Amino acid sequence: MSEILLIYPPVAKPAEAPAGIAKLAGSLRGHGVDCVTVDLNFEGLDYILRQSCTANDTWSLRALRHVEKNRAALSDKKTYTNFDRYKRAVADLNRVVEVVGREHNLELSLANYNDKQLSPLRSQDLLQAAAEPQENIYYPFFSKCLTRQIEENSPSFIGFSLNYLSQALCTFAMIGFCRRRFPELAIVVGGGLITSWASRPDWHNPFAGLIDHLIAGPGAEKLLVLLRKKPEESESFAPDYSDFSDHEYLAPERILPYAASSGCYWNRCTFCPEKAEGNCYCQIKSEVVSKELDQLFAEGRYELIHFLDNAMSPALLRRLIEVPPRAGWYGFARVESDLLDPKFCLDLRRSGCVMLKLGIESGAEEVLSAMKKGIVLSDVAQVLANLRRAGIATYIYLLFGTPAETLHEARQTLEFTVAHHHEITFLNLAIFNLPLYSSESSGLEVRDFYAGDLSLYGNFVHPRGWQRQDVRRFLDQEFKRHPKIAPIIKRDPPIFTSNHAPFFC
Contacts of 334 (CB under 8 A, 6+ apart): 266, 311, 358, 359, 374, 375
**Which residue in 283, 265, 426 sits closest to 355, CA to CA?**
426
Is omega for the bond preceding 11 within 30 degrees of 0, making it cis?
A: yes
Cα–Cα distance, 199 to 216 (Å, whole number): 8
Bin 240: left if φ > 0, else alpha if -120 < ψ < 50, else beta: beta
Question: Given this model, what pLDDT does residue 459 score?
Answer: 87
Q: Return phi, psi of residue 143, to 5°.
A: -65, -40
Q: For residue range 459-490, list pLDDT tens digits in order.
A: 899 999 999 999 999 999 999 999 999 999 99
Question: Given this model, what pLDDT does residue 350 score?
Answer: 98
Question: Given this model, what pLDDT does residue 448 score?
Answer: 66
Q: Are 191 and 220 in contact (CB under 8 A)?
A: no
CB contact burial 33-55 (16+ within 10 A = b; e otherwise): bebbbbbbbbbbbebbbebeeeb
Cα–Cα distance, 369 to 175 (Å, whole number): 45
- List average pLDDT for each run of 10 residues in the chain, which is 505 residues long: 94 98 96 97 98 93 97 98 98 98 96 97 98 98 98 97 98 98 97 95 94 93 90 82 97 98 94 82 95 96 97 98 98 98 98 98 98 97 98 98 97 98 98 85 76 88 95 98 98 98 97
Cα-based distances in Å from 54 to 63, 102, 398:
12, 10, 41
The amino acid at residue 265 is: Y
**Which residue in 371, 376, 473, 378 sits closest to 431, CA to CA?**
473
Q: For residue range 94-105, list pLDDT tens digits in order.
A: 999 999 999 999
State the pTM of this model: 0.96
Domains of the chain: 4-46+116-226 (3.40.50.280), 54-102 (no CATH), 253-504 (3.80.30.20)
Cα–Cα distance, 363 to 397 (Å, whole number): 11
The amino acid at residue 469 is: Q
Cα–Cα distance, 242 to 233 (Å, whole number): 24
Cα–Cα distance, 35 to 80 (Å, whole number): 37
Bin 54: left if φ > 0, else alpha if -120 < ψ < 50, else beta: beta
Query: DSSP assignment of 402-425, as one string?
Result: -TT--HHHHHHHHHHHHHTGGG--
Q: For residue range 118-172, list pLDDT tens digits in order.
A: 999 999 999 999 999 999 999 999 999 999 999 999 999 999 999 999 999 999 9
Cα-based distances in Å from 345 to 275, 342, 384:
29, 5, 10
